[in-house]
Amino acid sequence: MHRNHVWSYDFVSDRSHDGRAIEMLTVIDEFSHQCLAIMVDRHITGNDVLYCMADLFLLHGTPEHIRSDNGPEFTARLLRNWMKEIGVKTLFIEPGSPWENGYNESFNGKLRDEVLNIEVFYNLKEAQIIIERRRQEYNMIRPHSSMNYKPPHQRPGCLWCLALIRKARFKY
């Protein structure tokens, strides 16, 4: 296994203070354990998934495989055809078998326990900012037991994180 060997993606949902839905698309590199993206919006379509993946492919390169469940956003014909055309193989898990997407399910559980169950989001923008900061903390600071209590950016082959750290310093 190596960086960009297998990525996995899945959805998490929550509600803002006013009861409106918030959907999150989480994308994980299974080798580095990095969370490559968390797209946060009121509703995420198959086209939104395609645009998010296109941005990630430009930033990180294309993975060999992408693992997901059989949700309509992941099985949309346009997305499947595009992935096939650029050489990314899809790995769909069996229905009712979330353990087959273990890296992403684990990440989503931590996101729920450490952020979503604690925070009250008063609007979409607040959710986007808090969740993106959490993603950066997860990649750069938070120790991972499966990686000898080091954050993912310290794994060999993740030198691109240094550029993101430098860029993040000037963002806020």
Q: What is the CATH number of domain 6-169?
A: 3.30.420.10
pTM passes above 0.85: no
pLDDT in tens, 1-32: 777 889 999 999 999 999 999 999 999 998 88
Can you tell me the distance from the alpha carbon of 30 to that of 66, in angstroms, rounded to the nearest whole number? Answer: 10
pLDDT in tens, 54-100: 999 999 999 999 988 888 888 888 998 999 999 999 888 777 777 77
Ordered by start, the domain boundaries in the chain are 6-169
Give the pLDDT score at 165.
45
61-89: string of b/e by CB count within 10 Å (b at 16+)?
ebbeebbbbeeebbebeebeeebeeeebe
From the centroid of its chain, how far is CA 42?
17
Contact 42, 62 (CB under 8 A): no
Indicate the average pLDDT of the chain. Answer: 83
